[in-house]
Chains A and B, each alone.
Chain A
Amino acid sequence: GESVGLHLPTLSVQEGDNSIINCAYSNSASDYFIWYKQESGKGPQFIIDIRSNMDKRQGQRVTVLLNKTVKHLSLQIAATQPGDSAVYFCAENTSGQNFVFGPGTRLSVLP
């Protein structure tokens, strides 16, 4: 797919298990974060966001955790399904300026 990197980290999980995808961000002043999912041949799809005044936010089957102390963001997907197979990107934003994206993680769901 378009988002494949030669050295893209890959996470393989069994269908039905929980997935945890990690992201280290670069700017301690970043105040907003988004997780995107990109399937082959498609543009990134907005999954969930979180502001820096929160440390956890839950959506449908997904949870984002923010640890500002170590500049770390994680995306947890509950009961991972085959349709969750994709590349996942985190993006950080500082004061409404342009987004900076992480390198992405490929999630592979095993039957």
Chain B
Amino acid sequence: DTGVSQDPRHKITKRGQNVTFRCDPISEHNRLYWYRQTLGQGPEFLTYFQNEAQLEKSRLLSDRFSAERPKGSFSTLEIQRTEQGDSAMYLCASSLALPLKGPYEQYFGPGTRLTVT
């Protein structure tokens, strides 16, 4: 078990460019979450997947954001036409959700720090 991994760890981009981040969850975990964390704040929920299905999206997730988990394993988060306000740490977490066995511990990856110049 290598834990949750994220790539890249750092990304610097110019305003208006598109960026894509990848998350590889713990292998047997069926749930995958994306959070955003700005400096000095706690993580804020963006969206989550149960296997390949995206089941919930936060109001924070504007139309410029899209997430996928095509085979129920890794996930990608794409931000189109980046803005300076998108600068943040993007965190991925995963959990193993079994019927009637909640609540489920979430394990976080190291995050991708995005800087939009």
Q: Are A and B interaction partners?
A: no
B residues near A (Cβ < 8 Å) are: none
